[in-house]
Amino acid sequence: MPTQDTASDERYRAVRSRDARFDGQFVMAVRTTGIYCRPSCPARTPRRENVEFFRTSAAAHAAGFRACKRCAPEAVPGSPEWDVRGDVAGRAMRLIAEGVVDREGIEGLARRTGYSPRHLTRVLGEELGAGPLALARAHRAQTARALLTQTELKVSEIAFSAGFSSVRQCNEVIRAVYDMTPLQLREQGRRTSGARAPSHGRPGHDAARPASLPRPAVQRNTSRNATLSSAADFGEVDLALSYRAPLDLHGLFVWFAVHAVEGVEVGTATSYSRTLRLPGGPAWLRVYRRGADELRMRARLTDLADLPALIARVRRLFDLDADPLAVDEALSHVPALRPLVAARPGLRVVGSADPEETLIRTLIGQQISLAAARTVLGARTREMGEPAPEFAPGLSHMFPTAAAIAEHGERFLRGPAARVRAVLGAASAVASGELSLSPGDDAAQQRAALLALPGVGPWTADHVRMRVTGDPDVFLVDDGALRAGAQRIGLPGDKKALTAWAQSAAPWRSYATTHLWGPLTPPATFDESEQP
């Protein structure tokens, strides 16, 4: 549905100034042309009376508008609103990005959000102007567009990779949204590659691969039941990852390097690689910086239909849909945080690539050093994790499943008895289905479910909530490193007083938490001179 008049006036001012900070947060539809654009579209600004605004591109599609061919409004980071909001609309949008509608239908989405399909459709229609099917269709179109303009995959492969049920359906949706056939869209991407100005003066959009660069050879396997026998039995893609500048990439890569579990992850000064389980089978991914600030992902998948879910997980892991200018501006008004924000503009809160893995790692890593946690996790992975697929270069294992830990953990887990019981209890709850963690969880309900587990306290529950749901307003006051960081800048170390102070950082207390932890020291093997 169109936005309200007051908000529309503010959005029209953003359009007149071509403010790229608003790209992805709403779209502008022009009644006289029947197209919709991103706020920073370079075309002549239409008259106010000819314009209406929509929260999502899906709502614009439903109202009969087509995407602008010049500004490509689908090629921007997602709205940060869906990461901030904990209501049913925000939760549903995160699950749709994960491909839940494609795999489980509206019924599965409704079940995960705790609503009936009819009620969920009504809520999303009222909030976002489009129901779950239309929102999922728009997401498929965006994925297909990225694959068409950045890879040499066949249209038939792209159709199923993006979540369409048939090539015909893919062709129809692409034509309806972009007013082009898939092949015309691919050709347009080749012609305009590298010509579009990036958001904030940086390559922060899903631009096509520059024509002067060779395209990667693409290997494929779209069978969900495929057996991986060689390096040729996988689907490989290389895609740009959009984001809003600034982005503290150095801080992110240091964080991943310091926390990397041997055999599962590798972190360097310019990249992060890992193995990962997806619905269709194991995958390998490498997120890397190219040039000064372009961020890309190369991935190898058992099933290319898992690509939308993988992209969604990586975006959450790197917090790429955040609005760093809004966060930094708000935290800069907190006197104690102002110098920290100035020192690390564009700081992100690391998310979760695998919720159950995040829970197990959090429990095992409690009250021990990072180095000790890495040693323990590496050993347990070698003992209980499955071998990595052959197509995962430099990595040897998958992180152990909850089922494997529940079955074999009593034999292999070491440490205080209470911690071992907590890990075994959590793994058993996940393996049995008693506990299910996802980015679409209601934050309060997830916290309550975690606290109900033996040995899980507030710090663990809140840490998992911050990583898995992307809640931007979690303050880990029980964290010793946080309190030490607070005292270093003159804040009280007392938990009650520090909690009261943290109110000034709301609703961005997860970012305040990360700032107070301070920058991590890179590992000895971290090569600062490494070239992208």
* Domains with residue ranges and CATH for the chain: 9-67 (3.40.10.10), 84-192 (1.10.10.60), 235-517 (3.30.310.20)
Question: Is residue 207 pLDDT above 90, yes or no?
Answer: no
Residue 526 tokens, joined: 């971290």
Catalytic-residue membership of 37: yes
In Å, what is the CA distance from 167 to each residue of 57, 122, 155, 172, 176? 22, 29, 7, 9, 14
Mean pLDDT (whole number) for 106-122: 94
Q: Identify which has the larger pLDDT, 373 or 86.
A: 373
Mean pLDDT (whole number) for 117-136: 92
Strands 51-54 and 66-67: unpaired
Question: Is residue 516 pLDDT above 80, yes or no?
Answer: yes
**The pLDDT of residue 10:** 86
Mind listing the pLDDT tens digit for each residue in 370-414?
Answer: 999 999 999 999 999 999 998 888 899 999 999 999 999 999 999
Per the residue annotation, which of 179, 478, 479, 494 is the catalytic one?
479
Please provide the average confidence, as pLDDT, over all residues in the chain: 88
Residue 242 tokens, joined: 């959009």
**E strands of 291-389, at which residues?**
294-301
Question: Is residue 25 pLDDT above 90, yes or no?
Answer: no
Residue 515 tokens, joined: 């700032």
Residues 241/295, Cβ–Cβ less than 8 Å:
yes
Mean pLDDT (whole number) for 346-357: 98
**The pLDDT of residue 531:** 54
**Which strand (E) or helix (H) includes residue 160?**
helix 155-161
Per the residue annotation, which of 37, 41, 68, 71 is the catalytic one?
37
| Amino acid (1-letter code) at residue 447 | R
Catalytic-residue membership of 478: no
Mean pLDDT (whole number) for 505-518: 97
Question: Is residue 458 pLDDT above 90, yes or no?
Answer: yes
How big is the CA angle at 255 (ends 353 and 341), to the nearest 5 degrees?
110
Residues 300/392, Cβ–Cβ less than 8 Å:
yes
Mean pLDDT (whole number) for 311-336: 96
Q: How many other CB atoms are there within 10 angstroms of residue 406's CB atom? A: 20
**The pLDDT of residue 221:** 43
**The pLDDT of residue 206:** 41
Question: Is residue 455 pLDDT above 90, yes or no?
Answer: yes
**The pLDDT of residue 259:** 96
Question: Residue 502: which of 469, 470, 476 has the closest Cα?
Answer: 476
Question: Is residue 205 pLDDT above 80, yes or no?
Answer: no
Least confident interval from 144-153, 476-485, 522-531? 522-531
Residue 221 tokens, joined: 């396997």
Whole-angstrom Cα distance, residue 140 to residue 102? 9
